Structure 1
């Protein structure tokens, strides 16, 4: 979620994302919008704290802020988005079943 515009970019995945998936996703966003964020704010997931992603963020000059473990309140915007998306998917699956 872009913290200024609240624009959301998603990429559905059947499996938990890897650091390579995150790098590829970020690259696609950079290519689409022709710019990079100054800061990436994420949780403590292994795909976000991996050396591979940290090296890429450093090369791209993107600061990385990681929320503390068990502090979902610190990621309020994305947690709310996840709740909305799950409600939508549940309603859609119920209506098409």
Structure 2
């Protein structure tokens, strides 16, 4: 079961990084919701380090946990996804200048 979460979360992570830089905020929100649904195993509305263990999000947990309480809420996750999208757009615009 953990492997399934890792695969789905990995696919969700790759979506915003796969050249879909023109994605709207709605697209980002939909991607975040899809990722969220697969990882919040106990459906308590928060992700724990255990729920994201062995997924691409494991190394990003602390960055997503904006208030440092050891849990990532859906709002924190969505904000992280938006920030990641913005960073990718900036990097892409920098690449086109060369």
- TM normalised by structure 1 equals 0.30
Q: Which has the higher strand share?
A: 1
- Rg: which structure is higher? 1
Greater relative CO, 1 or 2 (CA 8 Å, sep 6+): 2
Q: Which has the higher helix share?
A: 2
